[in-house]
Amino acid sequence: MWDFHPWTVAAILGMAAATYLCRGGGYWLFRQVTPGPMLRAALSYIPGTLFVSFVAPGLLDGRLHTLVGASATVAVMLWTRSLAWAIIAGTAAAWLAWSLL
Amino acid sequence: MIHGPVVFTLAGLRRGAVVSLPLLIGLTPFGVVCGITQQAAGLSLGETILMAGLVYAGAAQLVVLGAWTHPPSVLAATLTALVVNLRLALMGPVLAPWLDRLRGWRVWLSLFTMVDPSWALSVREISADYRDAAFLLGAGGIMWISWMITSIAGHLLGEAIQPTPGHPIFFAALAVFVALLVNLWRGKADVMPWLVAGVTAVATAHLLPGTSWYMLTGALAGSLLGALRDARSGDADRR
């Protein structure tokens, strides 16, 4: 319960440092320099392209319950615009499809 | 915009926390999913608390945990967290009307707690000429507390139900990102970068199985091609 693996702790500290570099460092850096339009455009695409990259292999691995869950998530998100309901409904749909198929 | 002096008071801190309360309900499943995923990846409760408290960035945590190995790759985890959180680097400067007028720990602690919802609330307050900059810390702080509680709850839930690797409960991590993508969709301009990202990611995942590089290659390929296309068609300044 309270064991700390040295490499896990190192990875967590690395992630924490990288994250704070973005939170604090971004404010500090962009106070000194203004990012050009090209960098701005590239950064503006980052969240979307990154999340697509994260879900693509998982969605295309041929498991039907994943596709059912993803469709339900999109539908509920479009309908309610609520992250909580989309996660709950999507997971429930995936679970239902998994137990029926 | 802000006219006149900016203060940093307990009243502002409290107001940020109170305004955020309704949002906490919506964030709960996200924290629980993160806790379950951390438990399933083999993190102890102590390590889960450490990650939730110090990283405090659910998307980055889920992405890194999706390719977690034993022992983990410190370099891959760090780089992945950096790329997932790059958006935060653009969010901080937007709060300059408050942050530029604060000193020392108030700036850096407030930024530590900055997450997408607390940032969005703060942007709204700044444009309404609200001048108590402690609002950001109040909102981010209460979200941090809720994040810790829900992460711990998720970890304990995972321990109690012990889901097997193919269990549909892990679909919840994918659902988070599918749902976020619905919000991130800006229109036709996103089609090409998203397609390039998806194809690159799938190809990389096949070439380098068991690693998290597919997210970095996909995100970089899609974003760079999108930016190049925008620069060519001359609408890069609009973004």
Residue pairs between chains A and B whose CB atoms are closer than 8 Å: 300
Distance CA(B204)–CA(B188), nearest Å, equals 25
Distance CA(B148)–CA(B170), nearest Å, equals 20
B58 or B27: whose pLDDT is higher? B58
Which amino acid is present at A77?
Answer: M
Chain B, window 50-69: residues with a beta carbon less than 8 angstroms from a chain A beta carbon:
50-51, 54-57, 59-61, 63-64, 66
Closest by CA to B122, choosing from B105, B150, B141, is B141
Residue A66 has pLDDT above 80, yes or no: yes
Model pLDDT, residue B1: 61
Q: What is the mean pLDDT of chain B?
A: 91
pLDDT in tens, B157-210: 999 998 887 788 888 888 988 998 998 899 999 999 999 999 999 999 999 887
Task: Give the number of other Cβ atoms within 10 Å of residue A43's Cβ.
Answer: 18
Residue B237 has pLDDT above 60, yes or no: no
* Predicted-complex ipTM score: 0.88
CB contact under 8 A, B99 and A91: no
Distance CA(B208)–CA(B197), nearest Å, equals 16
Model pLDDT, residue B79: 92
CB contact under 8 A, B100 and A18: no
Tell me if chain A has a CB within 8 Å of the CB of B181: yes
Residue B236 has pLDDT above 60, yes or no: no
Of A23, A70, A82, nearest to B174 by CB-CB distance is A70
Report the gap between the CA of A100 and the closest CA in chain B (Å): 12
Mutate to test the interface with A, among B63, B123, B136, B174 (most CBs of A within 10 A): B174
Q: What is the mean pLDDT of chain A?
A: 92
Can you list the alpha helix ranges (DSSP code H) found in A21-82?
A: 26-32, 37-59, 64-80
pLDDT in tens, B52-69: 999 999 999 998 998 898
Name the pTM for this structure. 0.85
Judged on CB neighbours under 10 Å (0-12, 13-18, 19+), B156 is middle
B235 pLDDT band (50/70/90 cuts)?
low
A6 pLDDT band (50/70/90 cuts)?
very high
Tell me if chain A has a CB within 8 Å of the CB of B44: yes
Phi then psi dihedrals of residue B7, to 5 deg = -115, 175
**Contact list, A27 vs chain B (CB under 8 Å):** 89, 92-93, 95-96, 99, 107, 111
DSSP H or E stretch at residue B174: helix B171-184
Phi then psi dihedrals of residue B132, to 5 deg = -95, 105
**Contact list, B91 vs chain A (CB under 8 Å):** 26
Of A31, A37, A54, nearest to B215 by CB-CB distance is A54
* Sequence-distant (≥ 6) Cβ neighbours of residue B217 within 8 angstroms: A53, B200, B201, B204
Two tokens at A70? 């993803």
Report the gap between the CA of B170 and the closest CA in chain A (Å): 8
A54 pLDDT band (50/70/90 cuts)?
confident
Report the gap between the CA of B172 and the closest CA in chain A (Å): 5
